[in-house]
Structure 1
Amino acid sequence: MIQKFVTMIFKDVENENETKKVSVILRLNATVMFLYFLCLLIMFLIAGESKPLLMMIPCLCAYALAFYTTYLNETKFAVFCSALVSIIWIFVFIRNFGWDCGIQHFIFVLLVLGFAISYSRLTLKFAMSGVACACRLVLYAYTKSHEPLYVLDGEISVVYQVVNTVFVFASMSGIMAVFTKDSMEMEKKLVQYNEKLHKLASLDPLTGLLNRRSMREFLDKRIKLYHDGHMESMAIAIGDIDFFKKINDTYGHEC
């Protein structure tokens, strides 16, 4: 079952205008956030706190919708849905539970998500960072002048902070793992492609030896090293095979 779910997350997109990386990151983030709110739902049920439960259900539905829309080639809608829901619930939860519960750290998740799935210019990404920083400062200033609506007991508050910390790191780690994996694979393919091009441009396909252009470059470098005093001596040997035409005529010119 777990293997099937992992396959669902990493399923490729059908639309050529969509990218697999963005869809996978959105699915992974939606999954982590769905589990987060499910965990909160269970936690508040066990604690007997009924009022916060009403906030969990819309969030669960929203992230489930964001997960589902990635399979409908609606990545932009999934991005919009994830971002909007994240912003709303962070503000609402800060208003309800206060600053000490650590909900504000999910702003970093939202920022990392924006950097990972956006192909915008770097200046726009830094602008996003500035907006995230401003939101965090505004939230902090707000909590200093307003008391939270729900005052959680000491044990629940500690558990809530632990849950927030775990899921913040889980979400950020998942996003960066997919993002860096995609980049490293692209870089690896590029290196392999460049090596292949270098061999095709430098070696003779029949003998595997340096072709004329590469041989001249090689000799020019060695001659320069010799003139600069980095080589004590230098020699060039030329070999020839007698009656090689008979070999070509007998076995073919490709031997």
Structure 2
Amino acid sequence: MDLVMDARRTSAHAAFWLMTRRVTVLAACVDVVFFLFFLWSGPVYLAWINVLSVSLYVLANLLLRYRYNYLALLLIWIEVMGHAVIGTLAVGWGAGFHYYLLMFIPAIMVSGYLALTLLPLCVLFTLYVGLYLVATRAGPLSPIADHALVALNLFNVLVFFMMASYTARFFYQRVRQSEQRLREYAARDTLTGLYNRRYFLELAGKEQSRAERESSPLAVVIADIDYFKNINDTFGHEAGDQVLVHIGAILDRCCRAGDAVARWGGEEFLFLLPNTEASEAEQFAERVCRTVAQQPLRRAAQDSVLCTLSLGVAAVGMDKTFADALAEADRALYESKMAGRNRVTTTGPVVADSYLAERRSPA
């Protein structure tokens, strides 16, 4: 759980810095518009202040690109606060430059732990209220025409809405992506990347319900790596893990559209084959068996591990649950083991109950 939380925090921080880079580009473009606006309406000194603002955003973007994140963030804070204070004092509260201070609220809240956000929020609140009191009491230092003031206010409101909408949408998409990745992690075996047992059982329940509604066939194939204990004893447990990954990748490639394969446990794998009759499932299992036998694990120039599978096949019917079919496939797998391994057996006669204990003994 700690690893998952660390991954989520890392993802959130990476998303924050990516969003910050994009916002610097947008903010620089806005300042170019301000430059042209104040050249037209005056006061001209505000136009040249925007040249400095663009330069600061370009520098901040470069710093973010080379991972000097906090220095870049300091420049952004200085630019936005300075711009908001100078613009508000120069042309008045009605110009709407104070809106840009509010953009720091979501940035502060996602940039660190809650305890670390209190001081920046207090500073921001104090600045905002203080700027309002000074601007409304003192009036603008460099008033502009009413129509220009209205246009400037509407433009600032538009930019504020655009930035707020963009940041909200950006983080919404990031949250959705993180949720999807977490669902994938929860459904996958950490070693092989195949489905894990828990998710596979959920999938099997859904597929059986669908098969019953549509009166369509459904089959299961269970596979077990032959002599896996010998592989571990001979080559080491690291080689055993490599074998599991190698075979897992082969089995995944063998799946057709709609099929599913999971690491069932240890060296066992399980296929779920929708819309597949027992005879078709047997042919599928034969192909898997041959494919694995023909592709040994290459570990070094002259070091390879020959891997084979024993497989059992069973069909899920209207009068047979997935658990029943799995038990039959398990017995068929045992027969494959007893018949010499590296082979496929379909559902056959019930073997003595003692097979379960024997079946779990080292192969």
**Partner of residue 42 from structure 1, selected from 22, 36, 41:** 36
1:151 to 140, 143, 155: 143
Moved more, 41-50 or 155-164: 41-50
Q: Which moved more, 1:147-156 or 1:132-141?
A: 132-141
> Do the aligned residues in 2 keep the contact of 1:91 with 1:139 (CA within 8 Å)?
yes
Q: Bigger CA drift: 152-161 or 193-202?
A: 193-202
Q: CA deviation at 1:175?
A: 2.5
CA contact (8 A) 2:108 2:121 kept: no
Evaluate the alpha carbon distance shift between residue 197 and residue 251 of structure 1 in structure 2; reply closer, same or farther with a 3 A threshold.
Answer: closer
Q: Whose strand proportion is higher, 1 or 2?
A: 2
Change in 2 beyond 3 A, CA 1:112/1:180: same
Question: Does 1:245 pair with 2:335?
Answer: yes
Is the counterpart of residue 142 in structure 1 residue 232 in structure 2? no
Q: Distance in 1 between matches of 2:130 and 2:42?
A: 31
Separation in structure 2 between the aligned mates of residue 237 and residue 82 of structure 1, nearest angstrom: 64
Report which of the two has the higher share of helix.
1
Matches within 5 A, 1:1-255: 20-47=14-41, 49-116=43-110, 118=111, 120-197=112-189, 199-202=195-198, 206=222, 245=335, 249=339, 252=342
Return the offset for 1:181: 2.3
More contact order relative to length (CA 8 Å, sep ≥ 6):
1
Match of 1:229 in 2: none
Question: Take 2:24 and 2:77, find their aligned partners in 1: how far apart are those partners?
Answer: 11
Partner of 2:298: none
Give the secondary-structure state (helix, strand or coil) at the position aligned to 1:51. Answer: helix
User: Residue 128 of structure 1: CA displacement?
Assistant: 3.0
- Flag structure 1 segments of 5+ consecutive residues without an equivalent: 1-15, 213-234
AA in 2 matched with 1:21: A
User: 1 CA distance for matches of 2:71 and 2:42?
Assistant: 36
2:336–2:344: 8 Å Cα contact kept in structure 1?
Answer: no
Structure whose alpha-carbon radius of gyration is higher: 2
In structure 2, give the amino acid aligned to 1:189: R
Query: 1:136-185: per-residue Cα shift (whole Å, max 9, x none)?
Result: 11111112321211111111111101110111122222223333322321
Counterpart amino acid of residue 33 in structure 1: A
Residues 112 and 19 of structure 1: CA distance in aligned 2, closer, same or farther (over 3 Å) = closer
Measured after TM superposition, the shift of residue 250 of structure 1 is 6.5
TM-score, normalized by length of structure 1?
Answer: 0.70
- 1:206 counterpart SS class: strand
1: CA distance, partners of 2:69 / 2:56: 14
**Quick one: structure 1 residues 250 and 132, their matched pair in 2 at CA, closer, same or farther if it must change by over 3 Å?**
same
Corresponding residue SS for 2:163: helix
Give the partner amino acid of 2:127: C
Q: Tell me the SS of whatever aligns to 1:52.
A: helix
Partner SS, residue 143 of structure 2: coil
Asked if 2 retains the 8 angstrom alpha-carbon contact of 1:44 and 1:50, the reply is yes
How big is each residue's C-alpha offset from its partner over 1:32-79, in whole Å with a ceiling of 9 and x where there is no partner?
A: 211111111111223354232232111111111111211222111111
Count of matched residue pairs: 214
2:247: which partner in 1?
none
Q: Distance in 2 between matches of 1:246 and 1:172?
A: 63
Corresponding letter in the other structure for 1:245: E
- Separation in 2, partners of 1:249, 1:80: 72
Query: Please, what TM-score do these two structures have when normalized by structure 2?
Result: 0.51
Structure 1 residues 195 and 96 mapped into 2: Cα distance closer, same or farther (>3 Å)? same
Q: CA contact under 8 A between 1:32 and 1:167: conserved in structure 2?
A: no
Pairwise CA RMSD: 3.4
Q: Share of identical aligned residues, percent? A: 13
> Secondary structure of 2:65's partner?
helix
Q: What residue number does 1:5 align with? A: none
